[in-house]
Amino acid sequence: MERTQVAIIGAGPAGLLLSQLLHLQGIDSIVLEKRSRTYVEGRIRAGVIEKGAAETLIEAGLGERMQQESMIHRGIELAFSGKRHRIDFEALTGGWVMVYGQHEVVIDMIAKRLGTGGKIVFGAEDVTLHDVDSGSPRVSFNKDGSHHEIACDFVAGCDGYHGVSRSSFPEGKLKAFERVYPFGWLGILAEAAPASEELIYSLHDNGFALFSMRSPTVTRLYLQCDPADDIGSWSNDRIWSELHTRLEVGGDFRINEGAVREKSITPMRSFVVEPMRHGRLFLAGDSAHIVPPTGAKGMNLAVADVRVLARALAEFFKSGREDLLDGYSETCLRRIWKAERFSWWMTSMLHRAPDDDAFGRRIQLAELDYVTGSEAASKSLAENYIGLPFDD
């Protein structure tokens, strides 16, 4: 049986960053990942990184390529009623966000961990957690037809919404909070130079649209749609037509078209479980919470979780103190619920619900008019978007 101090389930941003942060504290870990390295590095996800999250990655030694290739955004635009309005993050808060694809972050993390002797087991199947409510948990898995077991002090469940970690909590231990939204996002990745230097969030009679980017040559674009839509019913011509209609407001702004490299439909939900700990098992990232992408909080919350967890584990191994471990769930959930509120608010303000009536639409426009016309309201949006201060 192999031995490590922390067994980490999942090689996404949460698990990989935790492994790196522990490594910097001299704490050994093994990361188990169900998928192949090629699959993990190729998963396209969001790419907006909060200022604090970016600084955390840099401090962890993971920011060299990110600093060279990322794009700093000092504001966003909100488009409605035929006009665009800029929210100036820098003027309002002194902050910014960074645009750098999540899969690029994962590529950097994997290279760093493997380059410093870290152990990541890709293709780990049938992962099962044992005795997590004892002082000697174990993790078993199959790899290439062979059975393996790892003895450890702690297990970090960083394996996402569909992973095994959350389901390893005893029945009745977790309380789940969920809201499923009646719309989804149709997203495309296009080989086209971005037509704007900043993100544009647009409320249109046809539904929401978002202009974003991944690099100086690749544009990321989204349309509100029915989550039950067949992606085959959305031809490229139909997608581009809707994007032009929903985004090209206010002046002579025109989006650039290009070859569509990827398109998919993503349903939207808000989801949180409490608590995030049972015995020696801790949940982090999407295994404990999901946010709608409107607020750009998914990976940023994962970074915040593992900052808290890494500090608590480091203190335990250094001094035997358990108070930070005991407070892990409460500390994380304070930030999580604030991010859930912000993401819900942005989503509600910018999407057309199927049961919208004239009154509801006027309320949305009034909210947007207030947010863009009031310095206090603009500052509230800005400070939430760039990321609230860390509690740890």
- Strand, coil or helix: 218: strand
Stretch (H or E) spanning 342 = helix 328-350
Active site residues: 73, 201, 293, 297, 385
Phi, psi dihedral angles at 4 (to 5 degrees): -145, 170
Tell me the C-alpha distance between 192 and 48, whole Å.
19
Stretch (H or E) spanning 88 = strand 83-88
In this structure, are residues 205 and 80 in contact, taking their beta carbons and an 8 Å threshold? no
Stretch (H or E) spanning 62 = none
Neighbours of 24 (CB within 10 A): 14
* CA end-to-end distance (rounded Å), the chain: 35
In this structure, are residues 295 and 346 in contact, taking their beta carbons and an 8 Å threshold? yes
Residue 173 per-residue DSSP state? S
Give start and end residues of each alpha helix (H) in 296-327.
298-319, 323-326
Strands 175-191 and 200-204, how do they pair?
unpaired
Tell me the C-alpha distance between 158 and 133, whole Å.
18
Provide the token pair at 147: 């059975």
In this structure, are residues 118 and 62 in contact, taking their beta carbons and an 8 Å threshold? no
Q: To 5 degrees, how large is the angle CA 55–CA 189–CA 341?
A: 50
In this structure, are residues 186 and 172 in contact, taking their beta carbons and an 8 Å threshold? no
Reported residue count of the chain is 392
